[in-house]
Amino acid sequence: MRSLLRFLLTLVGAGQVFAGDWPQFRGPGGRSVGSGHPPIEFGPQTNVAWQLDVPPGNSSPILWSDHLILTATTDEGLTTLCYRRRDGVLEWKRSIKPKALEPTHRLSNPSTPTPVADPERVYCYFGSFGVVAYDRNGSEVWHHELPPPVVEFGTAASPVLVGDLLILVRDQDTGSHLLALRRSTGEIVWRKERPEFRRSFATPLVWEHDGTQELIVPGSIWLKSYQPATGAENWTVTGTSRVATSSPAVGDGMLFTGSWNVGGDADDRISMEPFDDYAKVHDKNGDGRFTPEELPEGPVKQRFTQMDLDKDGVVTREEWETMRTMFAKAGNAVMAIRPGGHGDITASHVAWRVTRSLPYVSSPLFYDGRLYTMKNGGLASCYDAATGKPSYQDQRIGVGSDFYASAVGVDGRVYIAAQNGTVAVLRAGDQFEVLARNSMGEEIFATPAVVDGMIYLRSARHLWAFQTSENNR
């Protein structure tokens, strides 16, 4: 027994025994709540446990027992990297070569979706290739090739696991659908067409409550709930933005969602004339279609590629009317939704809604009875999760930047990384207080993992692990 005790203490001291994992985007259950006592102040010269150079990619790190997994785009192709969690030593590296890389937004990368892991395998989704599953030794278990989504900004939604299924959201400009693969083999179990949906970049969430599970999928104009086992639809909430970029949150029996996009605010709504009326003036050659050259400069022309669903260089009557309808129905809001609905539950189950100080990509955070959001420009808000009553709104955190990473709640604090490379630490609670602003010196798009008091953070060119000096001893 004494020998066993000494062995276990040695493992703890070496960092090989871990109290928790962070197996998917935003951690266990997608809730973005960490554990332990991480440092408040950290940076390239402060509270560094280890750091290393990493290739480019926007996926967030996940923790898989004593492993840390990242994906990246390298000369070898779409690459999965497995590091030793305690010290960052590279354990294995595997790459796949797609036929071609999908186009991406200038801020994005073909390796943007975050992997997801179960005790046996890690699953990596690349829009340019499909899904590949590896075991702990880096051996490929299976792969399932998929056609790249039809959207010029690339793939961003991360896969989730529920039961025996790996579920992908593949919303795009044409042919949107959900896809469920059997996690052991990669075979398709079900496919749910979503023709009414357009491009989306938001990761779905599995909502567990009252002994049931719901697959919550943000999308253009609508938020929907599905039965994970079959893809059958449960309910719909209307009034969300025309492009989904933010993932939902859950807590205290409620579901929370935030959505914002250009043209959805009441005082900034983009409107389009009916096709026939507009064509009388602008269809110069009278062929019943629009080319970019036929449209005057302005917000409509700027979204030509979004209207051009099949990417053939022209906008038809049907494509024009589809976009016109979306602009008319789009809404921007943070909402709280009660469980138990069926059909259209917009009027019956939306508990509260706010339309001010809305996040764009950064997902709302439920933590200790409150909902936190971060608007681009560094404007923080905090609400009572049960009622929607604001504790504060539009408080400037002193970081004037966009926010693509999502916040993490841990140890009575909220950690949020800005695109400009600053990680702000706020005190959790009704009173607004910034505890620290920590600069990494390079851009950040990935959401950190915070487990056992350690912060694992991916920046543009580095992977960092931070812990307090007490834990370093």
Question: In angstroms, rounded to a whole number, what is the distance separating the alpha carbons of residues 219 and 208?
Answer: 20
Least Cα distance to 21 among 51, 58, 59, 66 occurs for: 66
154 phi/psi in degrees, rounded to 5: 85, 180
CATH 1.10.238 in the chain: give the residue spans: 275-328
Question: In angstroms, rounded to a whole number, what is the distance separating the alpha carbons of residues 227 and 238?
Answer: 19
CATH number for the region 22-267+330-472 comes to 2.130.10.10
pLDDT confidence of residue 309: 87
Question: In angstroms, rounded to a whole number, what is the distance separating the alpha carbons of residues 155 and 24?
Answer: 16
CATH 2.130.10.10 in the chain: give the residue spans: 22-267+330-472
111 alpha-carbon distance from chain centroid? 13
Task: For residue 328, name the pLDDT band (cuts at 50, 70, 90).
Answer: confident
Contacts of 138 (CB under 8 A, 6+ apart): 80, 82, 91, 92, 93, 94
Query: Could you tell me the sign of the dihedral formed by the alpha carbons of 53, 54, 55, 56, in that order?
Result: negative
| Least confident piece of the model among 9-18, 107-116, 334-343, 445-454 | 9-18
CB 189 within 8 A of CB 180: yes
pLDDT confidence of residue 471: 53
Question: In angstroms, rounded to a whole number, what is the distance separating the alpha carbons of residues 83 and 49?
Answer: 14
Entry pTM: 0.91
b vs e for 266-301, b when ≥16 Cβ sit within 10 Å of the residue's Cβ?
eeeebebeebeebbeeebeeeeebbeeebbeeeebe
Question: In angstroms, rounded to a whole number, what is the distance separating the alpha carbons of residues 292 and 258?
Answer: 32
The per-residue pLDDT for range 232-273, each reduced to its tens digit, is: 999 999 989 989 999 999 999 999 999 998 777 777 778 889
Which one has a higher pLDDT value, 19 or 165? Answer: 165
Question: In angstroms, rounded to a whole number, what is the distance separating the alpha carbons of residues 100 and 94?
Answer: 18
Residue keyed to tokens 């400069």:
297
400-404 long-range CB contacts below 8 Å, 24 or more apart? 401/376, 401/377, 402/360, 402/361, 402/376, 402/377, 403/359, 403/360, 403/361, 403/362, 403/374, 403/375, 403/376, 403/378, 404/58, 404/107, 404/361, 404/362, 404/444, 404/445
The per-residue pLDDT for range 273-323, each reduced to its tens digit, is: 999 999 999 999 999 999 999 999 998 899 898 899 888 999 999 989 988
Residue 14 has pLDDT above 60, yes or no: no
pLDDT confidence of residue 10: 33
The per-residue pLDDT for range 396-423, each reduced to its tens digit, is: 999 999 999 999 999 999 999 999 999 9
301 phi/psi in degrees, rounded to 5: -65, -35
Q: Which CATH number fits domain 275-328: 3.40.720, 1.10.730, 1.10.20, 1.10.238?
A: 1.10.238
Residue 21 vs residues 120, 357, 409: alpha-carbon distances, Å: 13, 33, 15
Residue 279 vs residues 83, 203, 296: alpha-carbon distances, Å: 57, 38, 12
pLDDT confidence of residue 470: 66
Contacts of 4 (CB under 8 A, 6+ apart): none
The per-residue pLDDT for range 143-166, each reduced to its tens digit, is: 999 999 999 899 999 999 999 999
- Token pair, residue 54, equals 């990493």
The per-residue pLDDT for range 180-229, each reduced to its tens digit, is: 999 999 999 999 999 989 889 999 999 999 999 999 999 999 999 999 99
| Segment holding 469, helix H or strand E | helix 469-472
